Amino acid sequence: MHFIYCFSFLIAALKWGDWKNWKAYYPTLLFFIGGDLLKNALLHNYRMWEFQELYFGQKVLVGHFAIDLMNMIICYPAIILIYLGQYPQFLWKQIIWIAFWVLLLSAKEFINLKYLNLINHYHGWNMSWSILFNIAMFIILRIHFKSPLIAWAISIVWIIFLFNWFDVPINTLK
């Protein structure tokens, strides 16, 4: 099923992605991927959520990291090309654009959680946290595109907040 999601994002990027300016988005794509790799490294033994594959790709996508890696390679570039490439100028349209992406990814996660059993939440993580995380993520991605150092500072504060809120044990970082 994760293959279908990634393929869908790829098709959408072929249609709506801003391919001619991909180099401008590349640093933000690396920031996006780097953040996910950092999450996987820091929370390897204390995951807030975990992907699983139950259908088509079960023999290929053998665990959370394999699925997440596929997302990083296929979905994230597609998301960045569309999200930043079509980002509107006016504030009210920007709010709607961010809300669209938050709704899209949150709906995908909700379906995967409640109906398809393709994701599990742990340690107090839930859909409300996923929605808040998606809001923060899309705002920070845009900030990174305009002001990378500010985005890094906000991200560090966000990570520290989440670590404290969810009481992540320090020994899980070993």
49-51 vs 119-121, strand pairing mode: antiparallel
Phi, psi of 150 (to 5 degrees): -65, -40
pLDDT tens track for 116-165: 998 999 999 999 999 999 999 999 999 999 999 999 999 999 999 999 99
pLDDT in tens, 55-92: 666 556 667 788 888 899 999 999 999 999 999 999 99
Q: How far apart, in whole angstroms, are the C-alpha atoms of residue 136 and residue 140? A: 6
Residue with tokens 């699983």: 52
Burial (Cβ within 10 Å: 0-12, 13-18, ≥19) of residue 50: middle
Residue 49 in tokens:
């959520």
Averaged over 16-38, what is the pLDDT?
97
Sequence-separated (6 or more) residues with CB below 8 Å from residue 100: none
Could you tell me which residues are beta bridge partners of residue 119? 51
Number of alpha helices (DSSP H) and beta strands (DSSP E) in the chain: 7, 2
- The neighbour count for residue 121, using CB atoms within 10 Å, is 16
∠38-173-125 over CA atoms, to 5°?
70
d(CA 1, CA 24): 31
- pLDDT tens for 107-129 read 999 999 999 998 999 999 999 99
